[in-house]
Structure 1
Amino acid sequence: MLHAALPLALVALLLPAAQAKEAVNPLLLQPADTLEQRQIAELQQRLLDWPQLQRYRDENAALSAPVPGTPRVVLFGDSITEGWGRTGSDTFFPGKRYLNRGISGQTTAQMLVRFRQDVIALQPAVVVILAGTNDIAGNTGAASQAMIEDNLQSMVELAQAHGIAVVLSSVLPVSDYPWQRGVQPAPKVRALNAALKRYASAHNVVYLDYHTPLANRDGGLDKALAADGVHPTPAGYARMAPLAEAAITQALARPR
């Protein structure tokens, strides 16, 4: 029974992260014994493997070494990155076959734990980091801007220590989270992005600004670009793709 395996207090703690995967149809917090089996399994797995290191472990092990003359690029992030597609190339980056290592619902703390396995060990020339919105939403608990910055800066430092060029992406515009109403994220996103831009300028990092060309006057995303206000539609990704491609090209041209 769930009562013995997963106490209600832990369900209450972990449920926001599970809800992040169901942003279009968020689930209300319920007593543990009424949760669907899929949700229960998901929450139990989070207890066993909080950063989800198992997600790409087999794919990473099967990956061959980078081909000389063909720089490897890793897209690293949460559901917004995962939405590019499993290879990151099928629609938006034709012929590039960028490696996608996005996991829905993840915060920067979880991503930092798996950075060595899902980025450094793959020996990319460039990593594109896009994260922070789930921290602001509180998916794994309250996170201050300083905490988010610390995690992202640690990822940058790890990458640079291993000769990997970094593209540090802005957090996408968002005016409300469908699974976490009332957070009022727009000003928090703007403040975090301003800090990331300053950091990138001071540390030889390419800053990828998605926010400026995508934001509406409320600091969010129009429905044409993100039906739920968070996750890009194909039209949203089509706006993002050339910006990402230009940033990757710029990163590859920089001395490391």
Structure 2
Amino acid sequence: MNDDRTSCSLLVPYNRAAYNAQDSADRSSDACHGLQPTPMPPSPPLIICFGDSLTAGFQTATPQNPTGRETPYGDFLQERLGGWAMVRVSGICGELTGEMVLRFRQDVLAHNPAYVIILGGTNDLGWNAHPQEVMRNLVKLYEQALAASATPILVTVPSIRVEDTGDSPDARDWIAGHLARRHQLNGLIADYASRKGLPLIDLFAATADPATQQLAAVYSNDGLHLTTAGYRLLADLIYEQVFASASPSGTSRPALIS
């Protein structure tokens, strides 16, 4: 599996603490001049999209996208949410879940998010890591988010697609093995979400060809990363399944899945 981590950028998350500190300073200045502070609306909840190249929005260059421009699903989610929430993207290409654990506190928890959308494990599986080993790292992320009073939104890993395998038994066995590991990992993710009452976005089911269980061509042009349509679909799923019912005039959290 190619390590493409140099092709993606890491975006700096929104700093809620700095926002609140500036707001407090402004209020103090008004008080010193005998002005009655005007009640300020609460700051919008922060949503951090956290993961690897599928979070960074990496795309393989095509005639339609010759520069391979990144299209993070977080950008599309921000469009759907409008001003109700702030969305920030923290994705590094080629990253393994163990590396995600190492940077989670600094890149996510330090910014006090209300929600963290966690998508990881594709690269681990590409390096033949066991699904239970990957899940142990993901659970660390989920538990750290919960301990920090943030709601983790769990996302299953998508499928893969391999073209022109012919009738080779070895190729069929290779594909079957990779799909089986994805199904196993996604089953563990779904079970955790069910037990903890957390939101689950089944990206695998939404983007797989029902006939082959491989990643549908409309959602991926390289068999691993998503197209713009795929990233937009993920944003739509998150919005519709988690945030659509939230009041646009308040910051109360949507109800968790029971």
Instruction: Decide: shared fold, TM above 0.5.
Output: yes
Task: Show the counterpart of 2:94.
Answer: 105
Q: SS at the partner of 2:191?
A: helix
Give the aligned partner of residue 154 of structure 2. Answer: 168
Higher-Rg structure is 2
**Deviations 1:143-168, CA, capped at 9 Å, x for gaps:** 21111110001111101001000101
- The runs of 5 or more residues in structure 2 that have no matched partner are 21-41, 59-69, 164-170, 247-252
What are the Cα deviations for residues 16-36 of structure 1, in whole angstroms up to 9, with x where unaligned? 5xx2328xxxxxxxxxxxxxx
Opposite residue 20 of structure 1, the aligned amino acid is: D
Q: How many Å separate the matches in 2 of 1:214 and 1:89? A: 17
Q: How does 1:67-146 map to 2 (within 5 A)?
A: 68-83=42-57, 89-94=74-79, 95=82, 97-138=86-127, 142-146=128-132
Distance 2:224 2:241 in 1: 22
What residue number does 2:226 align with?
232
Q: How far off is 1:69 after superposition?
A: 4.0
Instruction: Report the number of matched residues.
Output: 200
- Structure 2 residue aligned with 1:254: 255
Is 1:21 matched up with 2:4? yes
State which of 15, 22, 30 in structure 2 corresponds to 1:63.
Answer: 15
Superposed CA RMSD: 2.9
Seen in structure 2, the aligned counterparts of structure 1 residues 220 and 97 have a Cα distance that, compared at 3 Å, is farther
Work out the CA distance in 2 between the residues paired with 1:147 and 1:89: 27
- Correspondence for 2:180 among 176, 187, 191: 187
Change (3 A) 1:72 1:248: farther
Letter in 2 for 1:223: A
CA contact (8 A) 1:226 1:232 kept: yes
Q: Which runs of 5+ in 1 are unaligned?
A: 1-15, 23-41, 43-53
Q: Is the 8 A contact 2:73 2:232 kept in 1?
A: no
Paired residue for 1:245, among 239, 247, 250?
239
Partner of residue 194, structure 2: 201
The AA in structure 1 aligned to 2:186 is: N
**What is the deviation of 1:125?**
0.2
User: For the structure 1 residues 121 and 150, does the alpha-carbon distance in structure 2 shift closer, same or farther, using more than 3 Å as the test?
Assistant: same
The CA deviation string for residues 155-203 of structure 1, in whole angstroms up to 9 with x for no partner, is 11101001000101011122449xxx94642121111111110111111
Distance of 2:10 and 2:49 partners within structure 1: 15
Distance in 1 (alpha carbons) for counterparts of 2:143 and 2:254: 19
CA pair 161-89 structure 1, distance change in 2 beyond 3 A: closer
Highest RCO, 1 vs 2 (Cα 8 Å, sep ≥ 6): 2
User: Helix, strand or coil for the counterpart of 2:149?
Assistant: coil
Q: Matched residues in 2 for 1:90 and 1:224: separation?
A: 20
TM-score, normalised by the number of residues in structure 1: 0.69
After superposing on structure 2, the runs of 4+ consecutive aligned residues of structure 1 that deviate more than 6 Å are: none
8 Å Cα contact 2:116/2:150 also seen in 1: yes
How far did residue 64 of structure 1 move?
Answer: 4.6
Q: TM-score by structure 2 length?
A: 0.68
